[in-house]
Amino acid sequence: MRRTPIYLLGLTFFGLTPDYRGAIFKQIHEIVFYGKGGYSWDIVYNMPIWLRNFTFQQIKEHYDKENSQNDSIEQSKKNMQSVGAVKDKNAKPSYITKASKK
C-alpha cells in the first residue's frame, strides 16, 4: 500500500500565489498605462523587481503631486468665486420699479 506524502506547505511547487500574481500584473499595468508610452509590457515584466518598484513609486509620487496641485488650484478658484459672490451681495440694490395702475 502506497501512502500519499503530506506536504506542510499549501503549494507543492514554487510559484506565485494568485493574490501576489494579481498585484504584480496590476503594478505592471499601472507603469505601462501611466508611463504614457514610455514603457512596454515586456520591458516592465522583465525589469528587476527593485527597479520595477522604484519606477512604480516615482510615477505614483508624480501623479500624487500633480493631483495635490490641481486640488489647490481648484480650491483657490472656489475661494475667488466666493469672494466675488460677497462683492455682489454688498452691491446696492436698484429700487426702480413700476407702480401698479389700480
- DSSP letter for each residue of 24-69: HHHHHHHHHHHTTTS--HHHHHTS-HHHHHHHHHHHHHHHHHHHHH
- Tell me which of 94 and 69 has the higher pLDDT: 69
Greater confidence (79 vs 30) lies with: 30
Is pLDDT at 12 greater than 70 in this prediction?
no
Q: What is the pTM of this model?
A: 0.59
More confident call, 81 vs 40? 40
- pLDDT at residue 17, as a whole number: 81
Q: Whole-angstrom Cα distance, residue 89 to residue 41?
A: 57
What's the rounded mean pLDDT across residues 56-63? 95
pLDDT at 57: 96
pLDDT beyond 90 at 47: yes
